[in-house]
A and B are shown apart, each in its own frame.
Chain A
Amino acid sequence: MAEDRAPITRVLIIGAGIAGIQAALDIANSGYEVVLVEKEPSIGGRMLQLSETFPTLDCAQCILTPRTVEAGHHERIRLMTFSEVIAITGEIGHFTATVQRKPASVNWDVCTGCGLCQEKCPTKVASPFDRAMGKRKAIYTLSPQAVPNKPVIDREACTWFTRGKCRLCEKVCPVHAIDYEQQATTTQVEVGAVIIATGYTLYGLENLGEYGYGKIPDVVDGLAFERLLSASGPTAGKVRRPSDGKEPKQVVFIQCAGSRAPETAMPYCSKICCMYTAKHAMLYKHRVHDGTAYVFYIDVRAAGKRYEEFYHRATEEDRVIYVRGKVARVFRDGDQVVVWGSDTLSGASVEVAADMVVLAPAMVPHPETQRLAEMLGIPANEYGFLLPLDDNILPVETTRPGVFLAGAVTSPKDIPETVAQASAAAAKVLSLFAQWSGVPQAMETPVGAEAS
């Protein structure tokens, strides 16, 4: 390799959820530069939406925000949020990525993150971060702990963009950071390696007509229930159902909504739902002491350290009622949500007149991951999960040298597994960078020589 084409010891990480952040910190703390690209305005990904994590019931934000803050302030991590990678060319050692930043309509170099614009903005829209159960302003940050804590304007909601009226945020901004004329910008980034950590999204529950999702307001998905349980959520951690804000006394949790359904949806197990449903039911009981929680399940898969014990705690200490069987239909009857299912252990049909239903949807890859995979020439399986070079022994490598995978982009994963894999991807990148930086070719002092 020619001297002027020395490989670049800088990594591009696509996706700043817990996987991307973990890999970024590992690599940056080893002395190399990281470009961390995130399509949302701030980093943290799915984990930031969660209330508590299983099996320890740690507050998700409490264990995540130190890392988002560290990543946000790290001198060797360049955050590129509200941005997407639209092209990548080159090969190991010399990738050129084109990153497009969406117009935030706010000059982030000037903005101090005081939040006055968000306070004064008169336009409220349903917040996707809160799964449409809460409202956010047209100028917004994803959460109060956003990193970077700089707002963007939702141009589809803002009345200046839709009706040519308002400009209130511009008037109140003490540092004149609002810029309605801001355009999308593109930046070329030169890197030597790439980690794809674009995570997952949820299966479209509208496809499962029997559950009435989208039609019945009190049928929600697992992420929405996380927001209801979260102290920073739309109800400040109180369990309130969306239709009328009442505290639900009977809640039915349905596992495998779209998972393990080869005939109708996804054939695979989404792996995390057994545990988070146990957590949901448990946390619900902790908040609503006179409430009843039912869980419909196919099997309870609790393979992980202290996972089985966690499930037992849900059934024994918190008296969650587990019903082994599928649900055939969910419908509205007055202000109740009636669930028809079967208890395959007793052979009986079950009807529960519930106040609320929580579905555990299958995990599926983000649709945009497909475009990224095509750009990089990385194969995906029939569901869109990216394929590692070998499922057994090369779990983070890909067919493309210099491109690595981390987290749920390859298959459904929980947080501990995602973090472990992100560190693995980081180690692979670091081993390349170490070689490129010139590691000693021979051991100067043989191992153990000092001891002899």
Chain B
Amino acid sequence: MRIPYYPGCTLSTKAKGFDQAARQSFAALGIELAELKTWNCCGATFPLSRDNLLDLVGPVRNLVSAAAEGDKLAVACSTCFNVLKRSNLVMRNEEDKREKVNFFIEADYAGSVQVLHLLEILRDEVGWDNLAKAVKKNLADLSVAPYYGCMFLRPPKEMGFDDHENPQILENFIRALGAQVADYPHRAECCGNYIAAFDLETTKEMSYLILASARKAGADLIVTGCPLCQFNLDRWQQDLAMKHGGFRPIPVLYDTQLLGIALGLDATTFDLDKHYVDPRPILAEKGLI
């Protein structure tokens, strides 16, 4: 199976490991993630002002590229997924905006592409049972805390592929890989997002609540599908450990990195060494790398 794939900017720069692990893991599962021939930044935030159509131009150009290559578009990054999926719905459902954007970019696009998150593809195309059968490593001794962040699930009516108040897709993913799910209440609380840019302390403390809660639930590591969440959660743990006595830093992996490891792929291209909290010791301890 071949699915057009949008990597996005972060996965081409700071989160290359996320991207590499995604492509290799899906290839191992028989799905070619075929990078779009042309793509640009998704816009990074979905435009909320009703009359600012210019912000739709970026994401819609990507969707137009995708439509030329297939009827689906696979996305790994939560934020890109959020922006592309919602922009697609605008093009599908709002005639006035569709006409103006199409006129501006000289296209004729009406939201035909299905924007899919990689986890959705694993759930709906591969299936958890088939994924479980493809797992090569034994993760039974690994406790994994799922971290959803905000962009992946909200706004629920538009994202609409899981219960935003009680999501299960990451849990089912972790279970399919054979690992233990660490159940903790902060799995869908905000990490601090862009607040980091102007109030770092607030972001740090917001992230700390999530990290400490995952640790308390016995997690060995956290998985997420959002590069910004990954950064916020990962980056400041040394500071937090100094400030909050007794806090033990916890590695934060991308979901595809754990997927690739579980599938028995060579993790050397997954950039595990680029994480601020090194995940390799715990992965080695569990016999996974």
- A: residues with CB less than 8 A from B are 207-210, 212, 215, 263-264, 329, 331, 333, 338
Residues of chain B with a CB closer than 8 A to A329's CB: 185
Residue pair B165, A210 in contact (C-beta under 8 Å)? yes
Residue pair A338, B165 in contact (C-beta under 8 Å)? no
Is B163 an interface position by the 8 A CB rule?
yes
Residues of chain A with a CB closer than 8 A to B165's CB: 208-210, 264
Closest Cβ of chain B to A201, distance in Å, is 21
Residues of chain A with a CB closer than 8 A to B156's CB: 264
Is B49 an interface position by the 8 A CB rule?
no
Residue pair A209, B166 in contact (C-beta under 8 Å)? yes
Residues of chain B with a CB closer than 8 A to A263's CB: 157
Closest Cβ of chain B to A204, distance in Å, is 12
Residues of chain B with a CB closer than 8 A to A264's CB: 156, 165
Closest Cβ of chain A to B262, distance in Å, is 26
Closest Cβ of chain A to B279, distance in Å, is 26
Residue pair A338, B166 in contact (C-beta under 8 Å)? no
Closest Cβ of chain B to A436, distance in Å, is 53
| CB pairs A–B below 8 angstroms (10 shown) | A207-B163, A208-B165, A209-B163, A209-B165, A209-B166, A212-B166, A264-B165, A329-B185, A331-B185, A333-B185
- B: residues with CB less than 8 A from A are 156-157, 163-167, 185
The majority secondary structure among interface residues of chain A is mixed
Residue pair B163, A338 in contact (C-beta under 8 Å)? no
Nearest opposing residue in chain B for A209, CB measure: B166
Residue pair B185, A210 in contact (C-beta under 8 Å)? no
User: Within the assembled complex, what's the spacing in Å between the Cα atoms of A338 and B167?
Assistant: 19
Residues of chain B with a CB closer than 8 A to A209's CB: 163-167
Residues of chain A with a CB closer than 8 A to B166's CB: 209-210, 212, 215
User: Within the assembled complex, what's the spacing in Å between the Cα atoms of A208 and B156?
Assistant: 13
Residues of chain A with a CB closer than 8 A to B163's CB: 207, 209
Nearest opposing residue in chain B for A213, CB measure: B166
User: Within the assembled complex, what's the spacing in Å between the Cα atoms of A208 and B165?
Assistant: 7
User: Within the assembled complex, what's the spacing in Å between the Cα atoms of A338 and B216?
Assistant: 15
User: Within the assembled complex, what's the spacing in Å between the Cα atoms of A203 and B157?
Assistant: 20
User: Within the assembled complex, what's the spacing in Å between the Cα atoms of A85 and B174?
Assistant: 48
Residues of chain B with a CB closer than 8 A to A207's CB: 163
User: Within the assembled complex, what's the spacing in Å between the Cα atoms of A371 and B163?
Assistant: 29
User: Within the assembled complex, what's the spacing in Å between the Cα atoms of A308 and B155?
Assistant: 38
Residues of chain B with a CB closer than 8 A to A215's CB: 166
User: Within the assembled complex, what's the spacing in Å between the Cα atoms of A183 and B166?
Assistant: 43
User: Within the assembled complex, what's the spacing in Å between the Cα atoms of A264 and B157?
Assistant: 9
Nearest opposing residue in chain A for B168, CB measure: A209
Residues of chain B with a CB closer than 8 A to A208's CB: 165
Closest Cβ of chain A to B72, distance in Å, is 28
Closest Cβ of chain A to B170, distance in Å, is 14
User: Within the assembled complex, what's the spacing in Å between the Cα atoms of A209 and B165?
Assistant: 5
User: Within the assembled complex, what's the spacing in Å between the Cα atoms of A210 and B157?
Assistant: 16
Closest Cβ of chain B to A351, distance in Å, is 11
User: Within the assembled complex, what's the spacing in Å between the Cα atoms of A120 and B185?
Assistant: 45
What 4 A-B pairs come out closest when comparing CB atoms? A209-B166, A209-B165, A331-B185, A210-B165
List 15 other contacts, CB 8 Å, given A209-B164, A209-B166, A212-B166.
A207-B163, A208-B165, A209-B163, A209-B165, A209-B167, A210-B165, A210-B166, A215-B166, A263-B157, A264-B156, A264-B165, A329-B185, A331-B185, A333-B185, A338-B185
Nearest opposing residue in chain B for A330, CB measure: B185
User: Within the assembled complex, what's the spacing in Å between the Cα atoms of A208 and B163?
Assistant: 9
Residues of chain B with a CB closer than 8 A to A333's CB: 185
User: Within the assembled complex, what's the spacing in Å between the Cα atoms of A215 and B157?
Assistant: 24
Taking each of A207, A209, A333, which has the highest tally of chain B beta carbons within 10 Å of its own beta carbon?
A209
Residues of chain A with a CB closer than 8 A to B164's CB: 209
Closest Cβ of chain B to A216, distance in Å, is 11
Nearest opposing residue in chain B for A212, CB measure: B166
User: Within the assembled complex, what's the spacing in Å between the Cα atoms of A208 and B185?
Assistant: 15
User: Within the assembled complex, what's the spacing in Å between the Cα atoms of A31 and B4?
Assistant: 77
